[in-house]
């Protein structure tokens, strides 16, 4: 069992001075949260540095280690940085230190050549509590046991680098794939068995030689013994030839594979150039659309102020209408009264009632006069009437103005246009990022015509060499077979001639070891197959928990431990999304952890970026199953912490925040410790 206890960074990347990350010893998840550019990936790279002495990123390129020197430290004249990792391995405590420091005598180193190679130093804490410095061979052994560099990405998982890794695993002829396969088998314990087989081969050699010596020392079998030894010597020489031819062939095939890759890339390059042109066109279109939308916005903004006022004017219209009603009422009453006065006056002038046409007596006339006087007293003055009429006109104009003003004046259009601009701007941003990536891709793959032709020539030459080596190999193997047949015949003759018990005994011993070697070899191949089967079963089981696509029901392992998704109808899913690449990788990670003789921690940087909500939730649920120590490096918007707590409430053991001090300095702050 491997447990990370503490990581100390000193002037590494943005971490100025000495800063510590203490990993709780209890099984669970540790969250390290920080914004982009604050130093999450630097933590992973510090681990790569301390474990492997180098930082290898995409394209299998090494990053210049000088770049990790903290700038503040550099300006203060300190050109050294150090990473210390405290671990517990199978119950023993070790402290691994790696230091990058200038060559002696150099005060201002500039390039990596001015620095000493950062050798690892490991101290073992003994039972008495003392620290013992380990010798080089022990250091190498411990580092190999902890983590194989070729599969480190499965333990120091960087979501952004996964695609390249997956493609290596799926390409069965690739040299990188073979190394990764070897690395995976290292983790799974295959080398122990292979070493055992090599030791048996050494024994077999000794027993064979012993057998030959015994035959030669016996007078009856001396001649046969010499013939057998000569044949065996020839066979051994042929075997050496086979080894050399195999080694040549392997080199030729490696070279061929590299050239083939370059040629394929140049074909891919055509695709990338097409993609580049498409993205450039997209960007042009997006820019054009944004300009069009901005023009629309200018035009719309010309009347937006009306939309802003419409609600308030609509409200005012209610008040205006009520005033119009009042004014109309006053004017209408005035008109009624005028008509009544006119009737009274006419009745009095004619001394006859205008309504009933009867003559007025004195009393009725007096009564009408009284009413007439009263009306005159109550009446609105003409000037007031005019004011009221003017007011009415103004109010009516205002009401009509509001009707015209509020017609078709909404603020919705501008909101829609702004939202459309934002949407196109987001698409533009993504297209620019994709174009940047594609430009890099095109640049890295670009070949001139002469380079292309030279590669074709090299490939043809290598193919000829491959053919010649293969023929040589076949011929030598045939010779070995013939020699072995011959040796068999000689040994049959030997059986007839010799009755010596010593010869019999030596032969039995040799045959026994031969059988043992064959048995172990078969065992290894059986173990490798079983291992693959177990990894396939465990990876499938995890994948089903992770994936929300119920029609994908299996993962199938290939020769290099690459995994293919199998649809429930048995078909292989040919093109899987980035999100699914992640899910497959997580499944393999979990299966490797489960089957490895050495269980270890798992670091995951920006792992949720390409997963949708449902798959992210599934991944959170299985996190505790992936490893006993899971360290999540996440940025603020990547995943909602409450969601993690809701799904795996008791699994979070500690939380760190990477805080910004300045653009050149970050600090690690423990903000929650649940142990």
Contact 388, 330 (CB under 8 A): yes
Instruction: Quote the Cα angle for 140-141-143, to 5°.
Output: 65
Do 402 and 344 touch, CB atoms closer than 8 A? no
Among 305, 340, 430, 512, which residue interacts with other proteins (rule: CB under 8 A)?
Answer: 305
Rounded CA-CA distance 54/48 in Å is: 6
Q: How far is the CB of 426 from other proteins (least distance, A)?
A: 14
What's the rounded Cα separation, in Å, for the pair 99 and 82? 4
Min separation Cβ 637 and other proteins, Å: 16
Listed ranges 63-71, 159-167, 338-346, 393-401: which one lies at the site for other proteins (CB under 8 A): 393-401
CA–CA separation, 137 and 120 (whole Å): 11
Round to whole Å and give the CA distance between 173 and 156.
Answer: 25
552-557 and 629-634: which strand pairing? unpaired
Crossing angle of helices 578-595/501-546, nearest 10°?
140
Tell me the site size for other proteins, rule CB under 8 A. 27
Q: Is 578 within 8 Å of 133 (Cβ atoms)?
A: no
Shorter beta-carbon distance to other proteins: residue 415 or 670: 415
The minimum distance between CB 417 and other proteins, in angstroms, equals 9
Query: Minimum CB separation from other proteins for residue 434, in Å?
Result: 25
Q: d(Cα 31, Cα 20) in Å, to the nearest integer?
A: 15
Of the candidates 298, 387, 671, 675, which one interacts with other proteins according to CB under 8 A? 298
Distance CA(288)–CA(390), nearest Å, equals: 54
* Residues 205-234 interacting with other proteins (rule: CB under 8 A): none
Q: How far is the CB of 331 from other proteins (least distance, A)?
A: 20
Give the span between the Cα atoms of 652 and 624, in whole angstroms: 10
The least CB distance from residue 310 to other proteins, in Å, is 9
State how far the Cα of 600 lies from the Cα of 627, in Å rounded to an integer. 7
Q: Determine contact, residues 402/341, Cβ cutoff 8 Å.
A: no
Interface mask toward other proteins for 595-614; x: CB under 8 A:
--------------------
Task: Please identify which residue in 76, 132, 294, 556 interacts with other proteins, judged by CB under 8 A.
Answer: 294
Of the two residues 414 and 473, which places its CB atom closer to other proteins in the complex?
A: 414
Residue 161 is given by DSSP the state G
Cβ neighbours of 280 (radius 10 Å):
14
User: Quick check: helix, strand or coil at residue 25?
Assistant: coil
**Which of 249, 402, 539, 619 is close enough to bind other proteins by CB under 8 A?**
402
- Of 32, 10, 15, which Cα lies nearest the Cα of 671? 32
Report the residue number, 219 or 637, with the smaller CB distance to other proteins. 637
Residue 299 interacting with other proteins (CB under 8 A): yes
DSSP state of 174: -
The nearest distance, CB 312 to other proteins, in angstroms, is 5
* Contact between 302 and other proteins per CB under 8 A: yes
Q: Does 289 bind other proteins (CB under 8 A)?
A: no
The 10 Å Cβ neighbour count of residue 239 is 15
Minimum separation from the CB atom of position 291 to other proteins (A): 11
Nearest residue (CB) to other proteins, 409 versus 493: 409
CB count, 10 Å around CB of 129? 7
User: Phi-psi category of 408—alpha, beta or left, where left has phi over 0 and alpha has psi -120 to 50?
Assistant: left
Nearer to other proteins, 335 or 418 (CB): 418
**210 near 509, Cβ under 8 Å?**
yes
> Minimum distance between the CB of residue 285 and other proteins, rounded to whole angstroms?
20
Segment 310-349, which members bind other proteins (CB under 8 A)? 311-313, 316, 320
The smaller minimum CB distance to other proteins, of residues 196 and 414, is found at: 414
Q: Which of 307, 562, 600, 601 binds other proteins (CB under 8 A)?
A: 307
Rank residues 402 and 596 by Cβ distance to other proteins and give the closer one: 402
- Write down the least CB distance from residue 116 to other proteins, Å: 49
End-to-end CA distance of the chain, in Å? 20
**What 8-state DSSP symbol labels residue 612?**
-
Q: How many CB atoms lie within 10 A of CB 4?
A: 21
Q: State yes or no: residue 584 binds other proteins (CB under 8 A).
A: no
**Beta-strand runs (E) in 212-341:** none
Nearer to other proteins, 408 or 437 (CB): 408
Cβ neighbors of 237 (< 8 A, separation 6 or more) are none
Quick one: 296 or 486, whose CB is closer to other proteins? 296
Contact pattern for other proteins over residues 403 through 422, marking x by CB under 8 A: --x-----x--xx--xx---
Between 325 and 567, name the residue whose CB sits nearer to other proteins: 325
Q: Among residues 424 and 565, whose Cβ is nearest to other proteins?
A: 424
Q: Give the C-alpha separation, 492 to 40, whole Å.
A: 71
Stretch binding other proteins (CB under 8 A), from 126-134, 298-306, 474-482, 541-549: 298-306
270 to 263, 277, 441, 454, 561: CA distances (angstroms) = 11, 11, 11, 18, 30
Check residue 386 for interaction with other proteins (CB under 8 A).
Answer: no
Query: In this structure, what token pair is assigned to residue 284?
Result: 């042009």
**Pick 419 or 515: Cβ nearer other proteins:** 419
Least distance (Å) between residue 318 CB and other proteins: 12
Contact status: 304 vs other proteins (CB under 8 A): yes
Please identify, using beta-carbon distances, which residue of 131 and 410 lies nearer to other proteins.
410
8 Å CB contact between 154 and 44: no
Q: Which of 121, 309, 331, 428 binds other proteins (CB under 8 A)?
A: 309
The yes or no reply on residue 301 touching other proteins (CB under 8 A) is yes
Q: Does 297 bind other proteins (CB under 8 A)?
A: yes
Residue among 78 and 304 whose Cβ is closer to other proteins: 304
290 binds other proteins (CB under 8 A): no
Residue pair 653/675 in contact (Cβ under 8 Å)? The answer is yes
Least distance (Å) between residue 412 CB and other proteins: 9
| Closer residue to other proteins in complex, CB, 306/664 | 306
* Helix (H/G/I), strand (E/B), else coil: 84: strand
Options 8, 229, 398, 469; binder of other proteins; rule CB under 8 A = 398
Residues that bind other proteins (CB under 8 A): 294, 297-299, 301-302, 304-309, 311-313, 316, 320, 394, 398, 401-402, 405, 411, 414-415, 418-419
């Amino acid at each position: 069992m491997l447990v990370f206890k503490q990581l100390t960074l000193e002037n590494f990347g943005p971490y100025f001075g000495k800063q510590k990350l203490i990993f709780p010893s209890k099984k669970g998840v540790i969250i390290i949260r920080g914004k982009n550019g604050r130093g999450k990936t630097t933590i992973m790279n510090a681990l790569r540095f301390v474990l492997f002495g180098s930082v290898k990123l995409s394209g299998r390129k090494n990053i210049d280690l000088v770049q990790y020197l903290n700038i503040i430290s550099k300006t203060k004249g300190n050109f050294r940085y150090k990473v210390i990792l405290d671990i517990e391995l199978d119950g023993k405590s070790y402290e691994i230190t790696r230091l990058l420091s200038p060559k002696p005598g150099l005060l201002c180193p500039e390039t990596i050549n001015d620095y000493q190679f950062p050798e690892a130093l490991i101290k073992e804490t003994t039972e008495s509590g003392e620290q013992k410095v380990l010798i080089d061979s022990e250091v190498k052994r411990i580092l190999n046991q902890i983590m194989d560099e070729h599969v480190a990405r499965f333990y120091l998982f960087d979501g952004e680098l996964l695609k390249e890794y997956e493609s290596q695993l799926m390409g069965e002829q690739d040299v990188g794939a073979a190394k990764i396969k070897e690395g995976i088998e290292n983790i799974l314990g295959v080398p122990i068995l292979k070493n055992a087989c090599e030791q048996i081969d050494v024994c077999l050699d000794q027993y064979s030689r012993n057998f030959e010596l015994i035959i030669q020392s016996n007078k009856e079998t001396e001649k046969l013994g010499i013939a057998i030894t000569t044949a065996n010597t020839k066979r051994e020489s042929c075997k050496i030839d086979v080894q050399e031819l195999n080694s040549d062939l392997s080199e030729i095939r490696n070279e061929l594979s590299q050239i083939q890759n370059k040629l394929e890339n140049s074909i891919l390059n055509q695709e990338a150039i097409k993609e580049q042109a498409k993205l450039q066109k997209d960007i042009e279109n997006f820019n054009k659309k944004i300009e069009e939308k901005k023009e629309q916005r200018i035009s719309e903004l010309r009347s937006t102020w009306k939309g802003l006022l419409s609600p308030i004017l609509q409200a005012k219209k209610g008040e205006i209408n009520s005033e119009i009603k009042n004014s109309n009422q006053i004017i209408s009453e005035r008109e009624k009264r005028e008509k009544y006065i006119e009737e009274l006056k006419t009745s009095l002038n004619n001394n006859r009632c205008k309504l009933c046409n009867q003559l007025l007596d004195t009393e009725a006339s007096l009564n009408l006069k009284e009413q007439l006087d009263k009306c005159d007293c109550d009446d609105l003055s003409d000037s007031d009437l005019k004011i009221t009429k003017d007011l009415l006109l103004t109010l009516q104009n205002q009401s009509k103005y509001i009707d015209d003003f509020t017609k078709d004046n909404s603020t919705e259009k501008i909101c829609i246009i702004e939202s459309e601009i934002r949407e196109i701007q987001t698409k533009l941003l993504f297209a620019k990022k994709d174009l940047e990536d594609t430009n890099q891709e095109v640049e890295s793959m670009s070949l001139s015509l002469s380079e292309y032709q030279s590669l074709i020539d090299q490939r043809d030459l290598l193919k000829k060499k491959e053919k010649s080596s293969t023929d040589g190999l076949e011929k030598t193997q045939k010779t070995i077979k013939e020699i072995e047949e011959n040796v068999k015949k000689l040994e049959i003759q030997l059986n007839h001639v010799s009755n010596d018990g010593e010869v019999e005994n030596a032969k039995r011993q040799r045959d026994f070891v031969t059988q043992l070697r064959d048995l172990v070899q078969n065992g290894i191949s059986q173990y490798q197959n079983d291992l693959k089967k177990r990894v396939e079963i465990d990876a499938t089981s995890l994948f089903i928990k992770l994936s929300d696509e119920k029609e994908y029901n299996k993962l199938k392992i290939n020769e290099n431990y690459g995994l293919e998704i199998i649809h429930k109808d048995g078909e292989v899913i040919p093109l899987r999304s980035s999100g699914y690449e992640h899910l497959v990788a997580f499944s393999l990670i979990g299966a490797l952890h489960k089957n490895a003789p050495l269980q270890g921690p798992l670091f995951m940087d920006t792992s949720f970026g390409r997963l949708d909500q449902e798959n992210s939730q599934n991944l959170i649920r299985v996190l505790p199953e992936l490893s006993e120590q899971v360290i999540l490096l996440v940025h603020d918007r990547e995943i909602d912490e409450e969601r993690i707590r809701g799904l795996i409430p008791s699994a979070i053991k500690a939380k760190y925040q990477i805080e910004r001090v300045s653009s050149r300095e970050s600090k690690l702050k423990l903000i929650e410790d649940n142990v």
